[in-house]
Structure 1
C-alpha cells in the first residue's frame, strides 16, 4: 500500500512538472518597451529557449521608422534605404543645436534664452502669450530626438511629463522647426503625432509616469 502511494505521488509530481512546462510554452511572452506593454497581432514566441518578437512592434513601440525592401529582403529601422552622400551634416548640426537650445530654454522658462535663437517674426503653437509666466500643466521634457530633417527644417520627437490635478502621464509628440537667417523661424506641433503613455522608462532607474 505504501509503495503504491509513493508511486502515485511521484506520478502526480511528474504530471505537475510537465503541465507547468507545457503551460509556460503556450503562454506568449509580453513585450514591454519604455515601460509600456506593446500590443501586436503577431504574438512573440519561445523557440528552443530563445524569445522571438515581431520587429515592427518593437520599432513602433520605440517610435522608430521601419521600412521593408522586398528586393534585398532587408529591414531598415531608423535607417535610410537610399543611403548615399550626406545632404549637409554641417546644416543639420547647426539646426539641431539651435533647436536644442530653444527646447531647453522653453523647458526652463528662460524667456530671454528663447528670444536669443528666434527671428523677429518667430511663430509657434507650443506656448501662448503668457509664456514664461506660470507653470500650471506645463510639461517637463525628459527626452528629445531628431527624427527627420532638411537643410532648413528639423523634426524632433519630444517626450514630456504632463501634470494636472488628477493625473500624471507622459506625452510623446513631434515638433517641427523651420530655420532661416541662422535662427529659428517657427516651431509647430506636427498634427496627429501626440500620444499619452502611463509611464516612460529612459533607462533602469529613470522612470516617469504613474
Structure 2
C-alpha cells in the first residue's frame, strides 16, 4: 500500500541526514549519492548544532525521484501522489512493466528472437546505432531499471547502464519511454529527450559499484 509522507516546510527546504558531531559551522558538507558528488543548485548543505542539513530537493533529484510542493497546504510530496485516493490501473501497470522489463532484459542479452516476439509490426526505437539485435555493443550492461512514469498506453523506465564500449568507462542513466499496442506488444521504445546523464561511478548498494 502506498503511503504518502507529508513534511511541513518553513523557509528553505531542509532535511536532517545524519549526526555529524561537533564540526565548525563554517564547514560545508559534501553530498554523495550513488558514489557521485551532488552540488546543490540552491542552498548549500549546513552544519547546525552537530547535525548536517541538506536541501530536500537536492537529495530527491539526486535519487531521481519526483518532488512536489503544495503551497496551499504547506506540504511537500516526495515520490508520492498528492491526489491519491484509491489504487487505480494496477493491472494495466503490471502488464506494461512486465513487457518493458522483459524487452530490456532481452535487449541487454541480445536475444533476438525474444526481442522480436515482444514487438509489434512497425516497431520503432532510437536506442541503438548498429545492427541490433545481433550486435555486441554494450552487451549485458544494464545494472538497474525502475519505472518512473506511466499512462494508459505508455510507461517510462529509468535505466542505469555501464557504458563499456566507449573510450572512458562511465555509467549512464537514461529514461526510455515504452508505448504499447494492445496488451502484449511494444509499439516503440524511445529515449526521453534530455534524460541522459553520465557519472564516473554508480553504487547500487555497498559492495556493488560500477565505474571508475
TM-score, with structure 2 as normaliser: 0.84
| Alignment check: 8 A CA contact 1:139 1:163 kept | no
For residue 87 of structure 1, report the CA deviation from its aligned partner. Answer: 3.1
Asked if the contact 2:22–2:49 (Cα under 8 Å) also holds between the matched residues in 1, the reply is: no
CA deviation string 1:81-128 (max 9, x = no partner)? 111233310000011000000000000111111112111221111135
- C-alpha contact (below 8 Å) 2:70/2:76 kept by paired residues: yes
Q: In the alignment, does 2:65 pair up with 1:64?
A: yes
State the alpha-carbon separation in 1 of the partners of residues 33 and 130 from structure 2: 37
Could you tell me which runs of 5 or more consecutive residues in structure 2 were left unpaired when the two chains were aligned: 1-20
List gaps (5 residues or longer) in structure 1. 1-20
Structure 1 residue 134: deviation in Å?
A: 2.8
Q: How does 1:1-210 map to 2 (within 5 A)?
A: 24-40=24-40, 41-128=42-129, 130-137=131-138, 140-164=141-165, 166-182=167-183, 183-210=185-212
Higher RCO (C-alpha under 8 Å, 6+ residues apart): 2
The two structures have a TM-score, normalised by structure 1, of 0.84
How many equivalent pairs are there? 190
Displacement of 1:71 in angstroms is 1.2
Q: Which structure would you say has the larger Rg? A: 1
**Distance change in 2, residues 1:194/1:137 (3 Å):** same
Distance 1:177 1:165 in 2: 26
Using a 3 Å threshold, how does the CA distance of structure 1 residues 63 and 130 change in structure 2: closer, same or farther? same
